[in-house]
Chain A
Amino acid sequence: MTVLEGGKISGRQFMSVLVVLRIVPLTLVFSLINSIAHVQDTWITVIIGTVIAIPIAVLITKLSLRFPGKTIIEYSQSLLGPVMGKLLGLLILWCFLCTSIDITRGLGEAYVIAIMPETPILVFMSMLIFISCYAARSGLEVICRLGEDVFYIVVFVLLLTYVLPYTAMRFENLRPILAWGASNLVPPVIANLGYYSQFLIIGMLVPYLNKPEDATRYAVYAVLISGALMVLAAVALVAVFGTTASSWTLPLFSLARMISLGDFFERIEAGVMAAWTVSTGIKLALFLWAASVAVAQLFNLKAFRHLLYPLGTITVAASLFFFESMVELEDYLAKAGAMVSILVAGVTLLLLYAALGIRMAIHRRKGGAG
């Protein structure tokens, strides 16, 4: 392994960044609730999605543990051979970049829609990218250290956002349950899994864990915690907004606007937005880091840090031109984007496990013969 990145991260930090990267889209565009026809069932679909996501996370982690000290980019080359391996690596890299592009645009849109409509979106996006690149340059250790703190902050802010609008909550809005059949449940589960397939990044993080044997445990914790946060989000949203929950562009932002305690503790949504910005920054830093390390490893470069700002610039430009409008972004996130991510994750895992199986079979036969 070329020593591109010397940092070591702890299991808790690993878990924290995984949770942060799963709940960032929740904080901006909650596409689960936007893609469901009847919102009352959202929380059930979240549970289903979480249950399916656990084996995915475990599979990725277990695979990485078989190749200690190697990232998914490196071991896919050693498993599939240089050509196929590099192709797969490019696919994964493309996935990382797509994710960066989505969330950059998402945060920019959120600011322009909700807080400062007159400011050009490019300003938000480029400043976000700038700060994320700065974090990524400082290395994985810094990202993960801050990621853990941001995790605590975001969980705290989210729980406040769920609990404080209790005056406006009406839990009868959650009924009826499961009245529309299974077809109602499918789109949000797909959207949810689309986000969970971003957990491919585990393959980049596991080699840097100081105790790799804990990786699986913490990956499962991450899925469970993010699942729990999303269930609560779904419940709170539907309780407050009823059937109108699916109409909001930024559901959790609107939920924060409902907070009003005693005519004094209210109007805090901009502060809530600030917490979300920070978490988006962490996620973006992580993906930019992963993408640049992936580039360095694919093309056998000696360093990755100088790749960050060029990659960041590309991300800003792409996020500006990929999507014409917020409508397109949402549509992509909930449908095409999710399907593509699931496909990529599925193909990656399938290919790698198949190759691993074949190798082991050959190895066993050789061993048996010898």
Chain B
Amino acid sequence: MRVRRCVRITALLAIIPVVLSMAGCWSRKEIEDIGFVLSIGVDHGAKEDEIMITAHIAKPFAISAGLSGAVDEKPFWQVSSTGRTVFEAWRNLRQQSPRRPLLHHSRFIVFGEEFARDGIHEAMDFFFKESEVRETNVVVVAKGVKASEILWNEFELERMPAEGALGIMKVAAQELSTTVMITLNEFLQMLEAEGHEAVASRAELVRRPPSEDPRGQLKRETISISGRETGAAAFKGDKLVGWLDKTQTRGLQWVKGKVRSGIIVIEQPEEENKLASIELVRADSTVTPGISDGRPSVLIKVRAIGNLGEVQEDFDPMKSQEAWLSMERRMAEVIRHEIEAALNIAKYEFNSDIFGFGAEIQRKYPKEWTKLKDKWDEEFPKLDVEIEVETSLRRSGLTRRSVQTVRKEEG
């Protein structure tokens, strides 16, 4: 009995090497044999009906060399390939890459403007079916250029362009609220939802004047995405219909309740041509749909809380309560203008419900929505939108009053 058990256990132990020897070619991929794709771009190919994939692949050896400062080599490699479908193009990439490209660590999915205008539907499914692609990728549309071109940019503070672009986007979304950061998951939900059109992040190239390289070895043109200019790309269905600038983007974000922080510049009360800036601390919004006599309407309520960040002319809130209140009113006015700007362009220029008003109506009035659904394109521009903005100014920084300079204008 004992001996038999011994034999059995030895047999079990023998299974392990057998399994190991079988495993030669399966899922094992040594880490140094992988090309880690950091962002991926989709464009039309040169031929008709072809799709071009551009991958931005990290070069690990160049990164570590860069750390010790020995080699001045670009830490990434950009490569494109074409195919009739995205998957085919993606797989064709392996003809050019000695290391197996892997999408696990990709951060961005970039569509060229031309491709986006023609409709992205045919390209989307790959990114959901493929288990390598994470749903937290950011969807970006390149304004005016191909995706392959926009990937060619560099940042001074980051060696990897993807890291740089992500950093700028995060900062812009959190500190300025003038850009949208749409993950693949959100993008898909917007594409699929009734009464909600999609938006995506917008990126464009800003050419900077060529600068002398400090090491004097080569002259380079530094190209960069400018965070300031980043707004949003608006879709209708799966087609790109236009761009939102930063004011309109913040208008959109107000409605969606996604404004985190930002600076609101208002005219300073009681002073001519002088400005004051207010730093937003917190904001939220509610969208309440209503239906009367079959006509839908929407009430947007925005609450914003800010701190007085600076004024250009003497100002002491202790002296004038009225001025403080009027600042709050002006702040509300600016917010209302931004929302209206976004509403106007969405309603009259794009005719695209990027705010998701239709989805809100569906949530509250599912029965009525079935009737509205088919004619939402006509209804949306005619939609009554009421905007209520409630603002409050809380603090004024470390000083109560502003800096006062003694001026001797009259001499």
Contact = CB atoms under 8 A, between A and B. Distances in A.
Interface of A: 113-120, 123, 168, 172-173, 175-176, 179-180, 240-244, 247, 254, 257-258, 260, 266-267
Nearest to A172: B363
B64 interface: no
**Closest 9 A-B residue pairs measured CB to CB?**
A179-B366, A116-B27, A175-B363, A242-B189, A119-B26, A176-B366, A118-B27, A119-B27, A176-B363
B367 A260 contact: no
A241 B134 CA distance: 14
A257 B193 CA distance: 22
Given A113-B131, A241-B185, A243-B192, A260 B26 contact: no
B366 A257 contact: no
Contacts of A258: 135-136, 185
Contacts of A113: 131
27 contacts: A113-B131, A114-B131, A116-B26, A117-B131, A118-B25, A118-B26, A119-B26, A120-B26, A168-B185, A168-B186, A173-B189, A176-B362, A176-B363, A176-B366, A179-B366, A180-B366, A241-B185, A241-B189, A242-B192, A243-B193, A244-B188, A254-B135, A257-B134, A257-B136, A258-B136, A258-B185, A267-B134
Contact of A243 (B131, B185, B189): B189
Contacts of A242: 189, 192-193
A236 B192 CA distance: 19
B82 interface: no
Nearest to B129: A249
Nearest to B29: A118
Interface of B: 19, 25-27, 128, 131, 134-136, 183, 185-186, 188-189, 192-193, 360, 362-364, 366-367
Contacts of B185: 168, 240-241, 244, 258
A117 B360 CA distance: 40
A301 to B, nearest CB: 20
Contacts of A117: 27, 131
B14 to A, nearest CB: 14
Given A117-B131, A123-B26, 4 more contacts: A116-B26, A257-B135, A258-B136, A266-B136
A350 B360 CA distance: 48
A72 to B, nearest CB: 32
B105 to A, nearest CB: 9
Contacts of A119: 26-27
Contacts of A254: 135
A184 B185 CA distance: 25
B304 to A, nearest CB: 21
Contacts of A244: 185, 188-189, 192
Nearest to A176: B366
Contacts of B26: 116, 118-120, 123
